[in-house]
Amino acid sequence: MPTATRQRIIEAADDLFYRRGFDHTSFADIAGEVHISRGNFYHHFRTKDEILAAVIEARQASTRAMIRLWEDQEPTPEGRIRCFIRIVITNGALIERYGCPVGTLTSELAKLDHPCMEQARSVFSVFRDWLTEQFTALGHKDQADELAMRVLAFSQGVATLHNAFGDEAFVQREVGSMEQWLSTYSEHLKRKEP
Partner DNA sequence: GTCTATAAGCCGATAGAC
Partner DNA sequence: GTCTATCGGCTTATAGAC
- Given 170, 172, 187, 190, the residue binding a second copy (CB under 8 A): 170
| Least distance (Å) between residue 116 CB and a second copy | 13
**Residue at 85: amino acid letter:** I
Could you tell which of a second copy, DNA, none binds residue 161, using a CB distance below 5 to 8 A set by kind? a second copy
Instruction: For residue 125, report the phi and psi dihedrals to the nearest 5 degrees.
Output: -65, -30
Print the binding letters for residues 58-77 with a second copy: x by CB under 8 A, - otherwise: --------------------
**Residue at 136: amino acid letter:** T
Cα–Cα–Cα angle for 111, 117, 122, rounded to 5 degrees: 140
For residues 69 and 73, give the distance between their C-alpha atoms in angstroms, rounded to a whole number: 6
> Which C-beta is closer to a second copy: that of 119 or that of 136?
119
> If binding is defined by CB under 8 A, does position 152 make contact with a second copy?
yes
| CA distances (Å), origin 34, targets 24, 46, 52, 121 | 17, 17, 16, 28
DSSP secondary structure, 94-150, as one string: HHHHH--HHHHHHHHHHHHT-TTHHHHHHHHHHHHHHHHHHHHHTT-GGGHHHHHHH
> If binding is defined by CB under 8 A, does position 53 make contact with a second copy?
no
Asked whether the beta carbons of 148 and 182 are under 8 A apart, the reply is no
> Which C-beta is closer to a second copy: that of 78 or that of 174?
174
- Given 36, 66, 161, 189, the residue binding a second copy (CB under 8 A): 161
- Given 50, 129, 142, 146, the residue binding a second copy (CB under 8 A): 146
Q: Return residues touching a second copy (CB under 8 A).
A: 19-21, 23-24, 97-99, 103-104, 106-108, 110-112, 121, 124, 146, 149-150, 152-158, 160-161, 163-165, 167, 170, 173-174, 177
